[in-house]
Homo-oligomer: A and B are copies of this chain.
Amino acid sequence: MNIVEIAKLAGVSKSTVSRYLNDGYVSEDASTKIKEVIEKTGFVPKRQAQIMRTQKTNLIGVIVPKISTETAARVVEGVTKELSKYGYEVLIGNCELSIEKEMDYLKVFRSYQVDGIIFMATEITPKHYELMDQLNVPIVVLAQRVENYPCIIHDDYHASRDAVRFLLEKGHESIGFIGVGEYDVAVGVERKRGYKDELMAQGIAIDENLIQIGDFSQQSGYRLAKELMELKRRPTAIFAVTDHLAIGCMEYLKEAGYKIPEDISVMGLGDTQIAGLVTPKLTTIHYYFQTLGVRGAKLLVDYIQQGKSSTKNCESNFIFTYRLIERDSV
């Protein structure tokens, strides 16, 4: 069923049907006739053909590291919600933590001629840059700072400093750190930098033994907490760079018979759902992931509406604020 058949049935030309569907610059007679036929047949114009003609897909590609991750899901929630306001559809690229897949989706999205791309990144390699540069479509990067492209991120450095300062103010001087590898700049580099800088700013020497690095898993938090507590000079508080790590950390501590926060304090970062559900409730820093998604989507839409064919060198980097949530683990 296509526009020509509708035209035939309604006894008009296909241009008239097309006009009816778009500007509506059609006589009443023709209108009612066409309307009738369309309703009877359940005709819907094909987007592919429209796209072919107009070169506007109304498609946005969204790349996420892993959709079943709470943070990614929240970001996507925000992105889709905002985008649907503007009539965009979302092509989702779930990368299952594979960098190859990120590249693949970048390419696939190009072939689908998406109007724009939201890229929730973890690690950005030179190859990413190369691809992004030849993409010719507005791109907004989320949750990771990136050179030459607009990005929206949380202020990891200051969030981390604030967390440490909070612990310091509570009287802790020996603060263990559970982090992740530096390939992830936001989580691995910035949050560690915040930790160190805050300690130094308060005149406390960095004890490298207190700095433990693992991966993102809960087990990692568990294991590193053990390391920390088996040190001769044990910390009185532990700051983990994600809630997940903090939960793993608490799991070990509870098993080992420590009372939280009496014997040792624990602090996380991110304020995922579980933070308010564990016992004791985790003191952490709230990150506005959904809002991040909303803002990222809005920014992308702005670029598209400005007719930009690339956002390279559009260095409008937004840094999101955060909020310290005091619960029961410190």
Residues of chain B contacted by A47 (CB below 8 angstroms): 111-113
Interface size class of A (residues with CB under 8 A): 35 or more
**A319 lies within 8 A of chain B by Cβ:** no
In the complex, the answer to whether A67 meets B80 with C-beta atoms within 8 Å is yes
Q: Are B277 and A247 in contact (CB-based, < 8 A)? A: yes
A12 located at the interface, meaning its Cβ lies under 8 Å from any Cβ of chain B in the complex: no
Q: Give CA–CA (A145, B52) in the complex, Å.
A: 39
Given contacts A68-B74, A278-B279, contact A48 B112 (CB under 8 A): yes
**Cross-chain contact A68 with B77 (CB below 8 angstroms):** yes
A–B Cβ pairs within 8 angstroms, 24 of them = A44-B107, A47-B112, A47-B113, A48-B52, A48-B113, A67-B76, A68-B70, A68-B290, A69-B73, A70-B70, A70-B73, A72-B73, A80-B94, A81-B96, A84-B101, A90-B91, A91-B91, A247-B277, A254-B279, A273-B274, A274-B277, A277-B278, A278-B278, A279-B279
Contact pattern, A 99-114, Cβ under 8 Å of B = 1, otherwise 0: 0010000011011110
Residues of A within 8 A of B (CB): 42, 44-49, 51-52, 57, 62, 66-70, 72-74, 76-77, 80-81, 84, 89-92, 94, 96, 101, 107-108, 110-113, 134, 247, 254, 273-274, 277-279, 290
